[in-house]
A and B are shown apart, each in its own frame.
Chain A
Amino acid sequence: MSDTIINLTNVITVLLLLVGAFFMLAGTIGFVRFPDFYSRMHATGKCDTLGEGLMLVGLIVYGGATFVSVKILFLIMFILLANPTSTHAIAKAAYDVGLEPWRKLDDRVEWLDTGNTDDGRDDQDGGEER
């Protein structure tokens, strides 16, 4: 590269890395703080994919048009295919086992008071183990 102090490639790389790291940290905070299994997966499944893609794109911009960049491009394409697939597989496995989704407290109390059990979901198994 040129020997200027700030060139455009480094600035774009640092910006993409910072935005990607922000998305990753936001996904991690959501993964720790959310109350339910499904909402935790909602936090991690999208934020991690986007943050990782942005960081790897920044590294591609830094590396230039070499063979290494093509390799990282294949890595990005595989991650964009595989990460939503694995998230969907985990969610479907959890729903088949019978984890019930978290709902707000007022909604649940009202639903229990009316005695309406015809809610369309079976709610008796796996309620404690979220």
Chain B
Amino acid sequence: MASAELFGTIGMVDVFLAMALLIVIASFVSLYRGIEGPGIFNRIIAVNVIGTKTIVLLVLIGFIYERPDFFDIALLYAILNFIMTIAATRY
């Protein structure tokens, strides 16, 4: 499945690695607002956004290393992120 190549030497795994790198860069940019942002609600949003990016990152890692275990971890992480946000906004 992963042996189909796009442009000669660039395989699909390299494209997935580039997308994962973009997501990691976006997560660090969001982390700036999480550290610097005034008030507690900006930090709650930052945690929510980074968790949302982490879900896609986990699915991409599962496709890069061809291990289907990571999709279960991504689903569990989505549920935990949602529950954490609701609990943080209730109290």
Contacts and interface: CB of A to CB of B under 8 A. Distances in A.
Note whether A and B form a binding pair. Answer: yes
Interface of A: 1-7, 9-10, 13-14, 17, 20-21, 24-25, 27-29, 31-32, 37, 40-41, 44, 48-49, 52, 55-56, 59, 62-64, 68, 71-72, 74-75, 78-79, 82-83, 85-87, 89-90, 92-94, 97, 99, 129-130
Contacts of A20: 56
From DSSP, what is the main secondary structure of chain A's interface residues?
Answer: helix
B41 A3 contact: no
A9 to B, nearest CB: 8
Interface size class of B (residues with CB under 8 A): 35 or more
Main secondary structure of the interface of B (DSSP, over half): helix
A51 to B, nearest CB: 8
B59 A14 contact: no
Contacts of A4: 4
30 contacts: A3-B3, A7-B4, A17-B15, A17-B16, A21-B19, A24-B22, A24-B26, A24-B56, A31-B33, A37-B42, A40-B33, A40-B42, A48-B52, A52-B52, A52-B55, A52-B56, A55-B59, A59-B60, A68-B68, A68-B71, A71-B68, A71-B71, A75-B55, A75-B71, A82-B79, A89-B86, A89-B90, A90-B89, A99-B41, A129-B39
A37 B44 CA distance: 11
A1 B1 contact: yes
Contacts of B1: 1, 63-64
A102 to B, nearest CB: 12
Given A75-B59, A75-B74, A93-B41, A28 B85 contact: no
4 interchain residue pairs of minimum CB distance: A86-B85, A82-B82, A93-B89, A1-B4
Contacts of B33: 31-32, 40
